[in-house]
Chain A
Amino acid sequence: MIDYFALALGHGLLVIAFLNLVRRDELDVDPALDPVAGRKSAGDRARDKRKAARTNAAHGNDQADDDAAKGESA
């Protein structure tokens, strides 16, 4: 019984830790060592660009064009 309790507790905490780790980009890219990584990743920037483009198409808003262009140059 004690063995099962210790194993269940330890594995439960390990699962929490692993689930936390799988969601964190810092596991692979350290923000303190790679200042660029502190900003958005290439994938995130591409996703933002697509989102901005969709917003443009929906609203035909010129302002959004400027934002997307700014986001690209950043």
Chain B
Amino acid sequence: MIDLIFLAFIGFILLLGLRRPYLWVLLYVYIDILAPQQIGYGIIQNFSVSFIAFCAAFAGWLVLDRKEGSRFTFRQGLMLALLVYCWWTTQNADFPEPALLKWEWVWKALLFAIFMPLTITTRLRLEALALVMVLSVAMIVIATGMKTVLGGGGYDQLNFFVNDNSGLYESSTLATVAIGMIPLIAWFTRYGTIIKPAWYVSAFAIALIFACLLIPIGTEARTGLVCIAALGVLLLRYTKKRLMFIAAGGLLGLAALPFLPPSYYARMATIAQPGGDESASTRVAVWSWTIDYVQQNPFGGGFDAYRGNSFTYEMPVREETGNTTTVEFREVTDEARAYHSAIFELLGEQGYPGLLIWLWLQGLGVWQMERLYRRWKGHADESKAWIAPMAAALQIASLIYLVGAFFQGIAYQPMFFKIIGLQIGLYTYCLRLDSLREKPRGRPTRSRQKAKDAGDAVTA
């Protein structure tokens, strides 16, 4: 049944796209985030809905769409360079088979990220893309938040729509994305034109933001807590009453404490004591292994190069017998431990050139959004007032991603390439607005000149 509903929805959007081909781009974004083909378990799996939507989006843009304002920007060039470089390292990978498996989804994510900004040529397209991203993530967030409130949380225990740790259906990734989206959700309460600001929009947004904050609690993802702290610090810049904001944040945190489950305290305590948890203690070991590895292989070892690592270390193991707790240090040998950090993932897999391109791509986004914020803040005119807040929201999304990415191997997470797509679209749009202002007025047309002459004659 649910398969048929998904198919009906996808078919409906495909039909609407005949009139507005850009809707097919939005359809692909929805499918890529929510993965309805993985949620359904029947007939929908017979259709490559993702492939169909991608072909429709690309062909629609190529054949039917206006391409006025489409520009290939430097950041798209960086993504193209990363794509070509990843292809080259895949050919020379240490572990060719797993590398090919990862390459199969990475190239698609990068290709769509390069293509998508070409289609974002108007304000409404920017807003529509942001809205589809928010609503697609919202479905996962609402379900997860409700399960958390109703007591179904726990690390690796919360059931998502899909339980295979793919895409956004991985607890730490979802927590990072959910926290990073909060400023964008708030943006819609003031500047949305598709679903116009009203009390019910604000009520939905507040409930959604609350659900986003519940994700790190429900999934017990430590990275999520770090991201909430980072968000709080970043928001200070945009808050007029900072002391009040800090006090309110502290009070809210304290008020939430009694409602948190004991397992949450136990897991969060390991942030400060990384030695007590295997997942945390191996990170440091993997990172130092990667630094050694890249000295020998400065151009990287291709995707999944971490499979070559192996290290032995001592980890404290607690054992409780009656009222006594004994801590014993045991030797643990780990093999093929994942990077647990996008920085080290890139360093190990793509070497220094790959890391440089990726950092350049991310850093440029933060810088461009900063420029836009400073250039457009304070505009009261409705047609311009939305720009600075959107730039700020996208900058925060990038920074939260970078914070989260330091503790997770999410260097190629498609969701963040979509944020980059939005940033490129916004930056290009504002450049066009500026060039329109700077452009000297064109020569008067013959009819205008005639009218002017007639006017002059009358006044004379």
Q: Do A and B come from one complex?
A: yes
Give the interface of A toward B (CB within 8 A). Answer: 2-7, 9-11, 13-22, 24, 26-34, 73
- The answer for the CA separation of A27 and B195 in the assembled complex, in Å, is 14
Q: Which residues of A contact B436 (CB under 8 A)?
A: 33
Q: How far is the CB of B353 from chain A (nearest CB, A)?
A: 37
**Is B138 within 8 A of A33, CB to CB?**
no
Q: Is the CB of A21 within 8 A of B20?
A: yes
Residues of A within 8 A of B122 (CB): 26-30, 33
If the complex has contacts A2-B150, A6-B142, are A32 and B194 also in contact, measured as CB distance less than 8 A? no
The reply to whether B135 and A13 contact each other, CB–CB distance below 8 Å, is yes
How many angstroms between the C-alpha atoms of A27 and B121 in the bound complex? Answer: 9
Specify which chain A residues have a CB less than 8 angstroms from the CB of B194 in the assembled complex.
17, 20-21
Give the dominant DSSP class at A's interface: helix
The size class of the interface chain B forms with chain A is 35 or more
Chain B, residue nearest A20 (CB): B194
Q: B71 at interface (Cβ–Cβ under 8 A)?
A: no
Q: B66: CB under 8 A from chain A?
A: yes
* Chain B 263-274 near chain A by CB (<8 Å), digits 1 or 0: 000000000000
17 new A-B contacts at CB < 8 Å, known A29-B122, A73-B447: A2-B143, A4-B2, A6-B140, A6-B146, A9-B139, A10-B139, A11-B5, A14-B30, A16-B195, A18-B12, A21-B23, A21-B194, A26-B124, A31-B383, A32-B123, A32-B383, A33-B69
**Is B161 in contact with chain A by the CB < 8 A criterion?**
yes
Interface membership of B311, Cβ < 8 A:
no
Task: Give the complex CA separation of A15 and B429 in angstroms.
Answer: 26
The closest CB in chain B to the CB of A34 belongs to B68
A2 & B146 in contact (Cβ 8 Å cutoff): yes
Q: Distance (Å) between the CB of B276 and the closest chain A CB?
A: 33
- Known: A10-B135, A14-B30, A16-B195. Is A30-B124 also a contact (CB below 8 A)? yes
Q: Does B22 contact A (CB under 8 A)?
A: yes
Closest Cβ of chain B: how far from A56's Cβ, in Å?
23
Closest partner residue, chain A, to B16 (CB atom)? A22
Asked if B131 is at the interface (CB within 8 A of a chain A CB), the reply is: yes
Bound Cα distance A2, B68 (Å): 44
The residue in chain B whose Cβ has the minimal distance to the Cβ of A30 is B122
Give CA–CA (A16, B132) in the complex, Å.
11
Interface set, chain B 155-214, CB cutoff 8 A to A: 161, 194-195
Query: Can you name the residue of chain A whose Cβ is closest to the Cβ of B128?
Result: A21
Residue of A with least CB distance to B18: A22
Give B111-140 interface residues, CB cut-off 8 Å to A. Answer: 121-125, 128, 131-132, 135-136, 138-140
Please indicate the chain A residues that have their CB under 8 angstroms from the CB of B140 in the complex: 6
B19 interface hit (Cβ, 8 Å): yes
Across the interface, which residues of B come within 8 angstroms of A73, CB to CB?
A: 447
Return chain A residues, CB-CB under 8 Å to B433.
Answer: 32-33
* Cα distance, A53 to B128, chains bound together (Å): 39
Q: Which residue in chain B gives the minimum CB-CB distance to A33?
A: B432
Are A11 and B432 in contact (CB-based, < 8 A)? no
| Chain A hits for B146, CB < 8 A | 2, 5-6
Q: Which residues of B lie under 8 Å from residue A19 when comparing CB positions?
A: 16
Kindly state whether residue B7 has any CB partner on chain A within 8 Å: no
Can you report 10 residue pairs joining A to B where beta carbons are below 8 Å apart?
A3-B161, A7-B161, A10-B142, A14-B132, A21-B194, A22-B16, A28-B66, A28-B122, A32-B384, A33-B122
> Any chain A CB within 8 A of the CB of B9?
yes
Contacts of A21 in B (CB 8 A): 20, 22-23, 26, 124, 128, 194
Distance (whole angstroms) from the CB of B433 to the closest CB of chain A: 7
A28 to chain B, nearest CB (A): 6
CB B241 to nearest CB in A, in angstroms, measures 33
What residues of A have a CB within 8 angstroms of the CB of B377 in the complex?
none
Q: Are B136 and A10 within 8 A (Cβ)?
A: yes
**Distance, CA A9 to CA B211, complexed state (A):** 14
Shortest CB-to-CB span from A43 to chain B, Å, is 13
Chain B residues, Cβ within 8 Å of A27: 20, 22, 122, 124-125, 128
B139 engages A6 (CB within 8 Å): yes
Mark each residue of chain B from 423 to 441: 1 if its CB lies under 8 Å from any CB of chain A, else 0: 0000001001100100000
**Bound CA span A19–B131, Å:** 13
Residues of B within 8 A of A9 (CB): 139, 142
In the complex, the answer to whether A28 meets B123 with C-beta atoms within 8 Å is: no
B294 in the interface (beta carbon within 8 A): no
User: Which 4 residue pairs across A and B have the least CB separation, nearest first?
Assistant: A10-B139, A30-B122, A6-B143, A6-B142
User: Within 8 Å of chain A (Cβ to Cβ): is B357?
Assistant: no
CA distance A15 to B2 in the complex (A): 16
